[in-house]
């Protein structure tokens, strides 16, 4: 039995269920199965409460008493994800698998780190490099030779064209397009359906067609 723990409460757990189902349906062993143990959340008032079918088992201190091997994943916002993963204890019981839906198309020449969520219909082209703990949602396209650093979110339908670089903890809104050879700075946000034609510096928000910094 593979045990999973989710960092941060959210409705996206429904999609995590579908991704896990698609993964385990492909497993050749009939004895291979999984269980979602519940949520970890920093809000201590949520402990013991049920959200979307799963209990909040505690805050990050839960890992100090846990005696089970657990797979840890999170879909919360990039900066929150960056903070919580950096504060996790380091021990042999905590693992960070990639959750990749069976419908995703990933080139054998792409490189993928650990702890990523790659949802339905995502496409990752040759020589793309995906770091750690990223969330690539429905139908995201990452072009050839792109680099996606760590803790980023690429929302549904976002398209990052060839040789672009999405830096740490950036957020790309649904339907946004980043054209070839563009860099999106750390912690920056790109609005829904924006078209990014110029580099975006760190810690800004850019929206519109073409995208402009607010």
Give tens-digit pLDDT for 6-26: 999 999 999 999 999 999 987
Pairing relationship of beta strands 141-142 and 123-124 according to DSSP bridges: parallel
Do residues 163 and 147 lie in contact, with contact meaning Cβ atoms separated by under 8 Å? no
In the block, residue with structure tokens 């903070």? 83
Range in 85-89, 98-102, 209-213 with the lowest mean pLDDT = 85-89
- Which pLDDT does position 25 carry in this prediction? 85
Task: Report d(CA 17, CA 13) in Å as an integer.
Answer: 6
- Which pLDDT does position 28 carry in this prediction? 56
Structure tokens at 181: 């050879």
- Which pLDDT does position 20 carry in this prediction? 96
Q: Whole-model pTM?
A: 0.95
In the block, residue with structure tokens 């999170």? 74
Composition of the chain by helix, strand, coil, percent to 5? 15, 30, 55
Encode pLDDT of 27-84 as tens digits.
Answer: 655 557 899 999 999 999 999 999 999 999 999 999 999 989 999 999 999 999 999 9
Encode pLDDT of 131-150 as tens digits.
Answer: 999 999 999 999 999 999 99
- Which pLDDT does position 149 carry in this prediction? 98
The domain limits of the chain are 2-95, 101-205
As beta bridge partners, residue 195 has 177
Measured in residues, the chain has a length of 214
> In whole angstroms, what separates CA 63 from the centre of its chain?
21
Encode pLDDT of 104-114 as tens digits.
Answer: 999 999 999 99
Q: Which residues of 94-113 are buried (b: 16+ CB within 10 A; e: fewer)?
A: eebebbbbeebebeeebebb
| Backbone angles phi and psi of 98, in degrees to 5 | -85, 130
Encode pLDDT of 178-201 as tens digits.
Answer: 999 999 999 999 999 999 999 999
Q: 2-95: what fold? A: Rossmann fold (3.40.50)
> In whole angstroms, what separates CA 183 from the centre of its chain?
19
Q: 101-205: what fold? A: UDP N-Acetylglucosamine Acyltransferase; domain 1 (2.160.10)
pLDDT at 164 over 80: yes
pLDDT at 122 over 60: yes
Rg of the chain's alpha carbons, rounded to an integer? 17
């Amino acid at each position: 039995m593979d045990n999973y723990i989710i960092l941060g409460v959210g409705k996206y757990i429904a999609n995590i269920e579908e991704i896990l189902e698609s993964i385990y349906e492909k497993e050749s062993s009939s004895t291979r199965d999984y269980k979602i143990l519940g949520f970890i959340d920093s809000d201590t008032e949520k402990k013991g409460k049920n959200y979307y079918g799963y209990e909040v088992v505690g805050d990050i201190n839960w890992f100090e008493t846990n005696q089970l091997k657990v797979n840890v994943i999170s879909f919360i916002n990039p900066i929150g994800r960056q903070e919580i993963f950096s504060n996790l204890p380091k021990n042999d019981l905590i693992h960070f698998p990639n959750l990749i839906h069976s419908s995703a198309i990933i080139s054998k020449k792409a490189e993928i780190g650990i702890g990523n969520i790659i949802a339905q219909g995502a496409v990752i082209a040759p020589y793309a490099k995906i770091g750690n703990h990223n969330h690539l949602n429905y139908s995201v396209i990452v072009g050839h030779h792109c680099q996606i650093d760590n803790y980023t979110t690429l929302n549904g339908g976002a398209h990052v064209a060839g040789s672009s670089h999405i830096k740490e903890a950036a957020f790309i809104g649904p339907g946004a397009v980043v054209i070839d050879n563009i860099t999106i700075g750390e912690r920056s946000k790109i609005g829904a359906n924006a078209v990014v034609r110029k580099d975006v510096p760190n810690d800004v928000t850019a929206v519109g067609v073409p995208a402009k910094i607010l």
